[in-house]
A and B are shown apart, each in its own frame.
Chain A
């Protein structure tokens, strides 16, 4: 039908006309200290996930609270990692945003690309490893928290089986498992870890099913590296214990929650936005743990006995003061080869690219290798 030819031509004409009109130019000039700063945040999930993205948003709100009128924040939720991220970032940069926080590993390459096109905009990429003059990276030593969790779990388990719900076999997740296992084993040589990989960061139904499977197979304490409180709920239902992840999940497990690792981005965000206001911002790589307050633990649950609390607190303080490193030798890899000699601590490089289980963990990493 010729009607469609005309329709297509009309649309094409409109598009071309639009393209020929003046393109919108906004330049943000870097003049050092600024009176007002616009901070942008892109999230990989919805704020309502109650976990990872929720905590980043809490950080954003802290920035608003800290600087009041001097800061304006914007955010976009549920941005898919990939080309969409690039577009949203460019849009934000175009809109006169001064500093943009990209809160997921998968935003790394889009961040670098957009940063090249907007040299006057500052970018902060969470959990990545590529930097530039205007791109800083930051992450949290969650494994320090896992160490403390492992200690508590090792002491409190009666069945000597700890259930671990893991998402994807990226180094951060593997670090967490290894750290927790080593700690648990150090206080309980008979402890065993069962790991289920659910291939998702967030799927309450699947996480609940995985939790049940672990409990049915004898786990009486659950750990998770996924974002929903489903496992905590199941733990509460079944009368066992669990640790929360990324945020305090006590409302879902009033008796079940022993403690929770809390991602606290607020101090870091406030500091960085403040640096932009002061004109002192530079590209850094921050990997903070207990010492900088990026990792916190929720209040200990009522079920945690005094002596266990004391042990946990002692470890936490020791880590934050640098006296204790969760990965201290002698430690072997799962295949039996030696990884750390006695007294040797793991360097950041190995930690960042960890792709192996330590000796003693059953099963294999889902890597297709």
Chain B
């Protein structure tokens, strides 16, 4: 009989095993499915997972896709640790992109070094303001932040649509719902010549570093962690739950808004009705994959970004339908979540007495 026995202490070694086990399981399932569809598993997997990465272009694209995931993921990992569930990061991303974009358009034609920083800060502030709403409602009225932030996401998308169809529309754009292309001073510089990896990635790494430092060294990080693990203990220690809520949501909003304006100035270059393929929601998954460790969000984000790229490659090279991507992303997650049990428990084979 198989039994799960709680480990006396968790070792980082087991975290690695859990991740590798999950990857292996996913790869095996993928291989089985590919064989069932008539493809050679090894070759196909190589084509969709390894080949996209085997060039500067590929790495650059990976970075471009992973940047928003990591940026938001770091913020969410901090907030989730504190027990503040910001599910509306997507909405904050959209508002950040909108406000940053609006600033960029307002400064159109101005060729000043400070344009880009102002635009980026504007985006972060916009996202922060949007996250302040659920924060305020939670602190003042005890309204559940999961739902308020989630509902506000839909509102944010509609707001973007109103703006792009009207006040921010490109006057030379044949009345199509998009803004002007941003001028060069308001566009993020790229990292490589090929692909679209841009300095937003550097920012993401910096945030990950800051987040880690905050968790390990900064007293505030400790406060938030305790507040999340045991609100009563936090209360006894005099940590303000309200402060934790505000900080978690404001950081979440700021970074999500930052990710949004980075997307708009880096990858897209203008305001359009669709600026994010659900990065805000995917980042939640990334945060959990990283088990809420800010530094681990970096590889987790890269992994999830890779799964998107692999899905596209599968469509292009193998003709596999797009829906398969979602299925496999879900599977990868299931396996990762399942094997993470190995971290806290070990398997013991018990002979029943």
A and B touch in the complex (CB under 8 A): yes
Residues of A within 8 A of B (CB): 1-8, 11-12, 15, 18-19, 21-24, 46, 74-78, 80-84, 86-88, 90-92, 94-95, 105-106, 109, 129, 168-171, 199, 352-355, 366-369
CB distance from A241 to the nearest CB of B (A): 31
Contact B166 A5 (CB under 8 A): no
Q: Which of B161, B167, B270, B322 meets A199, CB within 8 Å?
A: B161
> Given A7-B296, A76-B312: A83 and B51 within 8 A (CB)?
no
B118, chain A: closest CB distance, angstroms: 23
| Binding site secondary structure of chain B | helix
Q: A3-B12, A24-B55, A90-B57 are in contact. List 13 more A-B contacts (CB 8 A).
A: A8-B295, A8-B298, A11-B302, A23-B57, A77-B322, A80-B277, A87-B61, A87-B64, A87-B65, A109-B268, A170-B177, A199-B158, A352-B174
In the complex, the answer to whether A94 meets B57 with C-beta atoms within 8 Å is yes
Selected A-B contacts with CB under 8 Å, 25 pairs: A3-B16, A4-B296, A5-B295, A8-B296, A12-B298, A15-B53, A22-B55, A76-B312, A76-B316, A76-B322, A77-B315, A82-B274, A83-B64, A83-B65, A87-B61, A87-B65, A87-B196, A88-B312, A129-B174, A168-B165, A169-B177, A170-B176, A352-B174, A366-B165, A369-B166
* Complex Cα–Cα for A92 and B64 (A): 18
B181 at the interface (CB under 8 A from A): yes
Chain A residues whose C-beta falls within 8 Å of the C-beta of B295 in the assembled complex? 4-5, 8
A368 pairs with B181, CB closer than 8 A: no
The residue that B313 contacts in the complex, of A81, A91, A367, with Cβ under 8 A, is: A91
> Which single member of B59, B166, B321 contacts A368 (CB below 8 Å)?
B166
Whether the Cβ atoms of A46 and B313 lie closer than 8 Å is: no
CA distance in complex: A352, B173 (Å): 10
Asked if A74 and B12 sit within 8 Å, CB to CB, the answer is: no
Given contacts A18-B59, A76-B322, A81-B274, contact A4 B312 (CB under 8 A): no
Residues of B within 8 A of A3 (CB): 11-13, 15-16
Decide if A82 touches B166 in the complex (CB within 8 Å).
no
- Does the CB pair B62–A15 fall under 8 Å? yes
Count: A-B pairs, CB below 8 Å: 141
Confirm or deny: B267 has a beta carbon within 8 angstroms of a beta carbon on chain A: yes
Interface residues on B, range: 35 or more
How far apart are the CA atoms of A241 and B302 in the complex, in Å?
Answer: 52
B174, A353: Cβ atoms under 8 Å?
yes
Q: Find chain B residues with CB under 8 A from A129 CB.
A: 174
Distance in Å from the Cβ of B314 to the closest Cβ of chain A?
A: 10
Min Cβ gap B149→A in Å is 21
Assembly CA distance A21 to B313 (angstroms) = 19
Known: A4-B12, A8-B298, A95-B316. A109 touches B181 (CB 8 A): yes
Chain A residues positioned under 8 Å from B158 (CB to CB): 199
**CB-based contact B54/A23 at 8 Å:** yes
When chains A and B are docked, how far (Å) is the Cα of A95 from the Cα of B316?
9
| Residues of A contacting B194 in the complex (Cβ-Cβ under 8 angstroms) | 23
Q: Looking at the assembled complex, report how far the CB atom of B39 sits from the nearest CB atom of chain A, in whole angstroms.
A: 15
Indicate which residue in A18, A74, A82, A170 contacts B54 across the interface (CB closer than 8 Å).
A18
In this complex, the member of A7, A90, A355, A366 whose beta carbon has the largest number of chain B beta carbons within 10 angstroms is A7
Residues of A within 8 A of B139 (CB): none
Is A11 touching B298 in the complex (CB atoms < 8 A)?
yes
Residues on B facing A (Cβ under 8 Å): 11-13, 15-16, 51-59, 61-62, 64-65, 158, 161-163, 165-167, 174-177, 181, 194-196, 208, 263, 267-270, 272-275, 277, 293, 295-296, 298-299, 302, 308-309, 312-313, 315-317, 319, 321-323
CB distance from A146 to the nearest CB of B (A): 18
What's the nearest-Cβ distance from chain A to residue B165, in Å?
Answer: 5
Q: Determine if B269 and A109 form an interchain contact, defined as CB atoms under 8 angstroms apart.
A: yes
- Of A24, A352, A367, the residue contacting B166 (CB under 8 A) is A367
Residues of B near A87 (CB, < 8 A) are 61, 64-65, 196, 309, 312
A284 to B175, CA, bound (A): 22
Q: Given the complex of chains A and B, what is the CA–CA distance between A354 and B64 in angstroms?
A: 36
Task: Please report the C-alpha to C-alpha distance between residue A33 and residue B308 in the assembled complex, in whole angstroms.
Answer: 36
Contact of A171 (CB < 8 Å), options: B51, B175, B195, B308: B175
Min C-beta distance of A283 to chain B, whole Å: 19
Q: Say whether B56 contacts A23, CB under 8 Å.
A: yes
Contact check, B298 vs A106: say whether CB atoms are below 8 A apart: no
Across the interface, do B167 and A369 meet the contact criterion of CB distance under 8 Å?
Answer: yes
A90 to B167, CA, bound (A): 33
Chain A residue at smallest Cβ distance from B309: A87
The complex places the Cα of A105 from the Cα of B11 at a distance, in Å, of 52
Complex: how many Å from CA A352 to CA B174?
Answer: 6
Cβ-defined partner of A170 (8 Å) among B175, B298, B312: B175
Closest chain B residue, CB of each to CB of A91: B316
Chain B residues with Cβ below 8 Å from A352 are 174
Cα distance A5–B209 in the bound complex, in angstroms: 10
Residues in B neighbouring A199, C-beta threshold 8 A: 158, 161
Nearest 5 pairs of A and B residues by beta carbon: A3-B12, A368-B166, A23-B55, A83-B267, A11-B299
**Given A77-B322, A105-B176, A367-B166, A18–B299 Cβ distance below 8 Å?**
no
Given contacts A1-B293, A168-B177, A171-B175, contact A24 B16 (CB under 8 A): no
Contacts of A95 in B (CB 8 A): 316-317
A11 to B296 alpha-carbon distance, docked (Å): 10
Chain B residues whose CB sits within 8 angstroms of the CB of A355 once the complex forms: 175
> Which residues of chain B have C-beta atoms less than 8 A from A168's C-beta?
165, 177, 273
The residue of chain A having its C-beta at the shortest distance from the C-beta of B176 within the complex is: A170
Alpha-carbon separation in the docked complex, A2 to B295 (Å): 10
B327 to chain A minimum Cβ distance, whole angstroms, is: 14
Residue of B at shortest CB range from A168?
B177
The answer for the CA separation of A78 and B325 in the assembled complex, in Å, is 11
Least CB separation from A5: chain B residue: B295
The smallest C-beta distance from A73 to any residue of chain B, in angstroms, reads 10
Distance (whole angstroms) from the CB of B60 to the closest CB of chain A: 8
Residue of B nearest to A16 (CB): B59
In the assembled complex, the Cα of A77 lies from the Cα of B316 at a distance in Å of 10
In the complex, chain A residues whose CB is within 8 Å of the CB of B313:
91
Q: Which of B58, B175, B316 contacts A354 (CB 8 A)?
A: B175
Give bound CA distance, A368 to B166, whole Å: 5
**CB-CB < 8 A to A24: which residues of B?**
51, 54-55
List chain A residues, Cβ under 8 A from B268. Answer: 82-83, 109
Chain B residue nearest to A355 in the complex (CB): B175
In the complex, which residue of chain A has the Cβ closest to the Cβ of B323?
Answer: A46
Among residues of B, the one whose C-beta sits closest to the C-beta of A24 is B55
**Chain A, residue nearest B291 (CB):** A4
